[in-house]
Amino acid sequence: MPNPAREPTFLPLTMAAANEADDEGARSVRDRAESADRAAADCWLALVAGCTSGRQALVDRLHDLSEATCGYAGTRWWAGRGSVHGTRVAAAEHRIDDAVREGDGAEFAEAFIGYDQAVATVVAHVRSRVGKSVT
């Protein structure tokens, strides 16, 4: 995991939530979160420098993370009872995409907070569902 004292971290809640679970689905979410976090840091530096490089890579990594989160939650839950969470994740992902295209650093940072919270909430919810079914 990135060292926040040395470089920006954009998905701390998601990575912490995925680290708490120890199963294949959580590992997939964590791996994709780490990849998305690196892409976000690169994109952030590009935004600050006024460059356009790295933008598509971030959009692709976020999509991969959203897909992994959906897979972890289960497509049936994601489309049913969890649809409000899926909508939040998709809306936050879209907001980041808009901020990247517009080169708006403040919106980028705000949008990442929402995305991180939305994905971490899904991961935590899945962990609580799994815990309930075990006991």
Contacts of 122 (CB under 8 A, 6+ apart): 69, 72, 73, 82, 85, 86, 89
Cβ atoms 73, 85 nearer than 8 A:
yes
Phi, psi of 71 (to 5 degrees): -60, -40
Burial of 71 (0-12, 13-18, 19+ CB in 10 A): middle
pLDDT for position 22: 81
Report the CATH fold assignment for 22-130. Answer: Four Helix Bundle (Hemerythrin (Met), subunit A) (1.20.120)
Q: CA 40 to CA 85: how far, in whole Å?
A: 22
Residue ranges in the chain whose pLDDT is less than 50: 1-2, 4, 133-135
Output the pLDDT for position 130: 66
The confidence score (pLDDT) of residue 131 equals: 60
Residues 6+ apart with CB under 8 A from 7: 41
pLDDT for residue 89: 97
Joined together, the tokens standing for residue 71 give: 């897979």
pLDDT, position 48: 86
